[in-house]
Amino acid sequence: MARRQTLRGSTLDEAIDALLAQMISSGVELAPISRPEVQRRLGLTSRATLGGDRGDRIEAARIVQMGESGRDPDGARRRRSLEERIASLQAENAALARQRDKLFEALSVIAHNCFVNGLDVESVMAPLRNTR
């Protein structure tokens, strides 16, 4: 039974480069680049072998692959800062307040038109009330 020879040194570097080139050409949908995926495909058992310069090459290849697919390389990994979340929620709150004001204005126009036309405002507004 022939055992597969372990990759080391420059042989490992060449194998990583060839695998990364193949994964980049395959695209992010079929072959997303990550350290665990490269480790699995090369049959490595130690994660330490993909640190340092090799890890930097894997990360650079991941960025190239994401760029070629039209995705932001850091978009999926980056979490919005607290200030960005606060600003987003404040903008959403302002939009909801404007919407509420428009609805109140529309209700007052309906009530005014009912009053002008001699309709009972209470009976017209009854379906809009919360009936829970």
Instruction: Report the mean per-residue pLDDT for the chain.
Output: 82
Give me the pLDDT at residue 88, please: 93
pTM score > 0.85 for this model? Answer: no
- Residue 76's pLDDT is 56
- Do the Cβ atoms of 56 and 16 come closer than 8 Å? no
Gap between the Cα atoms of 47 and 29, Å rounded: 24
Give pLDDT, residue 2.
46
| Domain boundaries, given as residue ranges, for the chain | 9-68, 82-128
Angstrom distance (rounded) from CA 1 to CA 64: 40
pLDDT, one tens digit per residue, over 81-93 is 889 899 999 999 9
Q: How far is CA 38 from CA 12, 58, 80, 89, 95, in A?
A: 11, 8, 29, 40, 46
Residue 63: pLDDT above 70?
A: yes
Q: Which amino acid is at 129?
A: R
| Statement: residue 24 has pLDDT above 50 | yes
Dihedral class, residue 50 (left if φ above 0, else alpha if ψ from -120 to 50, else beta): alpha
Q: Between residues 45 and 132, which one has the greater pLDDT?
A: 45
The arithmetic mean of pLDDT across residues 15-32, rounded, is 83
